[in-house]
Structure 1
């Protein structure tokens, strides 16, 4: 006799998460992602990571994998009682080191291919039937002499065989690139995995470059995760001492790829369970996005935002916190609204209705999605509309509220009364709601 077990301890949450992830599933299908992980990942946790990669492959994502081998080379050199030498965090590859690199790359390739070939029943790989393509896709050349230091067999990417890789991806294969390259004269070079990943992403015109890092990821000076950076912001961060050498190298590769045509680069802390899936299939992710595009933007509203604004306001209107607004009202007044948009979702909105004769304006309909109220977005909306008012010559703004009096008082508003309102607005005052009036001089 067998007992039936619940497939998920929290089925409702699972269903809700799956529904929320569906826009990302559709958006990622058919896209090309270059994904890089360091040699630190080639341990006990590799199987779990590759299972997640198998999920991406099954969802129609075209995957190019790049792995590192730095710790494996270091262990090989230590075993041979040889010293590893670096200059500016770049390995100097002498003959013994190159031998270790070749051994490590070969072992890593076999290890990765073996896991991706699994297909046992009742495992995440059941029925996957993944094909892995690897080979001499990378032509390289020596780094040469820098700062008077001869890097010997340390190389850099000269060319990526994009036609061959695209054919493998078109066939549904996962392409695996090891950090070794070959020259037309038959020489072998040891490559930096992050440089190889960036070069591959650029050459393949990839939609994303994704790098799994060790530690907490890209943080500010107080060790708080930075969720989004522009290339210029990332450049400034490169000089900060709190960044590890690995994070600095990954960040530099991400900036280079973004400026060379890759739309989005992600740096994700590998230690987070399911980090890759969380980054790709949830709105907020768990890592750092580096992109020239704005992932979250505060901007004037337009007609296509009305559906999102209505969805944002509906719960607040149902609770009586805001006056109900019809779609027709919003269409008429949309030019007065500003919104915060995050990856296609309206997170916040506010409206400013000026009374130019009285040189004042009403701030209304200030709302932020409850899940995003802890990061100052309400303040951002208020400041944006205050600046807009000042540019229009407005000297005073006022609000009518039934629930958020303290919030406005903490931001410089003071109590007012009906006589402070313009005559036209005074005539529309709803005595049944009995809203409190607050004013602020600009």
Structure 2
């Protein structure tokens, strides 16, 4: 089984999404997709006249912002993915983290309704896969009292992968991590990531992706891959991240 975390940039690239779901139609029913949608949430908040801030890379999510964040992620972004999946012949089903067996609690008071994940027993996802469905899980979660939480999509994907004991792929809009000459780096670990970061080879947006993948590899105790949608059919493509 595998969990695919879709990078936010991919959600704004219809051609890439169509190619992704077309490639999934030729594989076994063993894939779960987790997504966020920060750019769309920002757009909805701005349209509503609400000022959105970030703290240490996480979107501060006051309670009054949550209807817009939930609507953008669990609503619009999730249903757009369903649209692409249906067009490719898949049987998608849109879900939140709760249906994936994950409960959430507040991460800190200053972040508002930003949640951290806790696992609980749930066989729903496995059963859906057996029935031929493609689970599309937004990074919206629920607390034990039913309160809404906005969860970092990387953290959400790690939690889902941990709950399912599944491999984790970080899909983005590039083929993987590239060296200083633009060639694909096939494998990275903590030491090589530190060296390439200090030398400036890994930087900006890719540095964020690599650090997220490394943290995931440490938490899951297994290798994680970063790459484009080609990872679906070419399982050894992209960059493999290990501890």
Whether TM exceeds 0.5 here: the answer is: yes
Change (3 A) 1:240 1:54: same
Q: Tell me, what secondary structure is at the counterpart of 1:247?
A: helix
Equivalent-residue separation in structure 2 for 1:239 and 1:154 (angstroms): 31
- Which residue number corresponds to residue 78 of structure 1? 46
The answer to whether the aligner puts 1:289 opposite 2:224 as a matched pair is no
Query: Offset at 1:291?
Result: 3.3
- Which residue number corresponds to residue 140 of structure 1? 104
TM-score (norm 1): 0.48
The equivalences for 1:230-245 within 5 A come to: 230-234=189-193, 237=196, 243-244=202-203
Decide whether the 8 Å contact of 2:2 with 2:31 is kept in 1: yes
Deviation string for 1:178-217 (max 9, x for gaps)?
Answer: 01100011110111111111121122111x2111234675
Q: Name structure 2 gaps, 5 residues minimum.
A: none
Which of 101, 107, 119 is matched with 2:69 structurally? 101
Query: Offset at 1:74?
Result: 1.5
Equivalent-residue separation in structure 1 for 2:138 and 2:214 (angstroms): 22
TM-score (norm 2): 0.83
Q: Tell me, what secondary structure is at the counterpart of 1:117?
A: helix
Change (3 A) 1:236 1:88: farther
Which of 75, 84, 95 is matched with 1:115 structurally? 84
Query: Offset at 1:258?
Result: 2.1
Decide whether the 8 Å contact of 1:57 with 1:63 is kept in 2: no
Query: Offset at 1:281?
Result: 3.9
- Number of paired residues? 239
Equivalent-residue separation in structure 1 for 2:201 and 2:60 (angstroms): 25
Q: Name structure 1 gaps, 5 residues minimum.
A: 1-31, 119-124, 269-274, 293-442
The answer to whether the aligner puts 1:212 opposite 2:207 as a matched pair is no
Q: Tell me, what secondary structure is at the counterpart of 1:82?
A: coil
Deviation string for 1:228-250 (max 9, x for gaps)?
Answer: 11244335556665645543333
Deviation string for 1:375-408 (max 9, x for gaps)?
Answer: xxxxxxxxxxxxxxxxxxxxxxxxxxxxxxxxxx
Decide whether the 8 Å contact of 2:37 with 2:72 is kept in 1: yes
Decide whether the 8 Å contact of 1:54 with 1:130 is kept in 2: no
Equivalent-residue separation in structure 2 for 1:236 and 1:202 (angstroms): 29
Query: Offset at 1:114?
Result: 2.1
Equivalent-residue separation in structure 2 for 1:99 and 1:172 (angstroms): 31
Query: Offset at 1:141?
Result: 0.9
Decide whether the 8 Å contact of 2:106 with 2:116 is kept in 1: yes
Change (3 A) 1:59 1:245: same
- Which residue number corresponds to residue 41 of structure 1? 10
Decide whether the 8 Å contact of 2:24 with 2:232 is kept in 1: no
